[in-house]
A and B are shown apart, each in its own frame.
Chain A
Amino acid sequence: MSKYQRVAYYPGCALEGTGHAYNSSTKAVGKALGLELDEVKDWNCCGAMEVKNVDPKVQTYLSSRVMSIAANEMKASVVMAPCNGCYHNLKKAEYDLANDAASRETVDRISKKAGHETYQAGSLETIHALDWIKEGIGEEELKRRLKNSLKGLKVANYYGCMYTRPRHIFPEKDQGQGSESTSQPHFMDDLLAAAGAENVDFPLKTACCGGAHTLSDSDISTRLVLNILEAAEAAGADVIATECPTCHSGLEMHQVRAEKVLGRKTTVKMLYFTQLLGVALGIGPRKLGIHENVSDGMEALNKVL
């Protein structure tokens, strides 16, 4: 049995809001594949961007509390976070706690004040939903369980920037054959190819979507997103597959804004990779939350359903 067969699950705030469909499709796909999730009890925000900006060590603490509950209270050895921001922050906290005495001191002090056990670096492995499915099931087993094929669907796989950067907080990546690459990530490509999709050559797969600029400079975000959308269309994609709720909602909302503000219309659709895998596994679109997406994913999926 794979060590990823049953993991602690940290959905994070976005998956209870704009990324709700990512949450439901992740759970549905896990269930169909026989993978189990134990949601972290009483989890809190990972610190996201906001807390990090005010005080990075408080963000390290917030992420460490989630890991403490998973490791110390739930006795889990692996925690899975499908959101790039949460995944990134848990990884960053792990790195800081392993390498920075000041972070350890701050986390220990706040943990004691909060009345829970301090998280010790190395107690838990943090993985992304892509690792969970790729390593927990693998392409061959996935193929065996398919009910539909995504054959004929052209997909641009978009990973965003927090899944692979900064490189030093992801020591398990870039370890040769079979491991994920920080410069040319391929786990999503591999899974969707196994489900029959045709992955297009998409050079902006790790480019910044401008999510960070959304409030401070919306126009830059809109232009960055528009460039990603137009590049995906130029590559021949019907769909952009996403694996981050922030990127996903950014692509969807700025697609609408680009048309309104810049008069530039794009028609490529955005779907979470879990929604695409769910379709291939024969799960109904409603269970996968496809109706919750802003862009009409069914229009593209009609090619394969």
Chain B
Amino acid sequence: MRAELLARAEAILEAWVQARGEAPTREAVETFRLLALHRQGARGVPSFNACRETCREIAYHYNLLATRQDEKTQRMMEMLVRHLELFVRGKMEVEGLGDFCCASRPVRQQSGLEERTDG
């Protein structure tokens, strides 16, 4: 089950990377491809770091489940993966991604409203 959950988390980040027009990495960070995918997905998008610790917790729970097969730890891992999915879904739905979670800077850049301090 832990492998399925980890694969699901990787698929979520793959979707994010692909939506940005890149090929998902096959590399790993600290032995986890999930962490490498997160690093790739956050490149140039600082707001995506809001899910960095969620990814690290998924990796941590994956390791925990290798040593103890208890229901509570598995449920927590499921919730972490669900949180990642909700977060990424939100980011993909609201395509105005910016400096931090709610920033709509790129949308404003497109509409010519950006950088008005020089005037």
Identify the A interface with B (CB < 8 A). Answer: 49, 52-58, 106, 110, 161-162, 165-166, 183, 203-204, 206-208, 210-214, 216-217, 220-221, 223-224, 227-228, 230-231, 234-235
A53-B104, A55-B116 known; A231 vs B76 contact (CB < 8 Å): yes
The reply to whether B94 and A162 contact each other, CB–CB distance below 8 Å, is: no
Contacts A54-B113, A203-B57, A224-B86 given: A216-B76 contact, CB under 8 Å?
no
Q: Known: A55-B115, A227-B86. Contact between A211 and B54, CB under 8 A?
A: no
Asked whether any CB of chain A lies closer than 8 Å to the CB of B32, the reply is: no
Q: Which B residues are CB-close (under 8 A) to A211?
A: 101-102
Which residues from chain B contact A213 at a C-beta distance below 8 Å? 90, 94, 101-102
Instruction: Give the contacting residue for B54; candidates A49, A52, A204; CB below 8 A.
Output: A204
Given the interface pairs A52-B103, A54-B113, the reply to whether A234 lies near B79 with Cβ below 8 Å is yes
Query: Does the CB pair A53–B117 fall under 8 Å?
Result: no
| Known A217-B90, A234-B72; contact A204-B108, beta-carbon cutoff 8 A | no
**Cα of A165 to Cα of B104 in the assembled complex, Å:** 18
Chain B residues numbered 29-76 whose CB sits less than 8 Å from any CB in chain A: 46, 49-54, 56-57, 60-61, 72, 75-76
Docked pose: A221 CA to B76 CA in angstroms: 19
With contacts A54-B113, A54-B116, A213-B101 taken as known, whether A220 is within 8 angstroms of B86 at the C-beta atoms is yes
Query: In the complex, what's the smallest C-beta–C-beta distance from A55 to chain B, in angstroms?
Result: 5
Given A165-B52, A230-B79, A204-B86 contact (CB < 8 Å): no
- The minimal Cβ–Cβ distance linking A56 to chain B, given in whole angstroms, is 6
How far, in whole Å, are A166 and B104 apart by their CA atoms in the complex?
Answer: 18
Interchain residue pairs with CB less than 8 A apart (30)? A54-B116, A55-B115, A56-B105, A161-B50, A162-B100, A166-B46, A166-B49, A183-B53, A203-B57, A203-B60, A203-B79, A204-B79, A204-B80, A206-B54, A207-B51, A207-B54, A207-B83, A207-B87, A208-B101, A210-B86, A211-B101, A212-B101, A216-B104, A223-B86, A224-B90, A230-B79, A231-B80, A231-B83, A234-B72, A234-B75
Nearest chain A residue, comparing its CB with the CB of B98:
A53
Q: Which residue of B lies closest to A109 (CB)?
A: B117
What residues of A have a CB within 8 angstroms of the CB of B4 in the complex? none
CB distance from A234 to the nearest CB of B (A): 6
Give A113 Cβ to nearest chain B Cβ, in Å: 11
Q: Determine the distance from Cα of A110 to Cα of B119 in the docked complex, in whole angstroms.
A: 11
Beta-carbon nearest neighbor of A162 in chain B: B100
Chain B residues lying within 8 Å of A106, measured Cβ to Cβ, are 117
Complex Cα spacing A210 to B94, Å? 12
Q: Are A216 and B102 in contact, CB atoms less than 8 angstroms apart?
A: yes
Shortest distance from the beta carbon of B101 to any chain A beta carbon, whole Å = 3
Q: Counting chain B CB atoms within 10 Å of each CB, which of A55, A212, A223 scores highest? A: A212
What are the residues of chain A within 8 A of B117 when measuring CB–CB? 55, 57-58, 106, 110
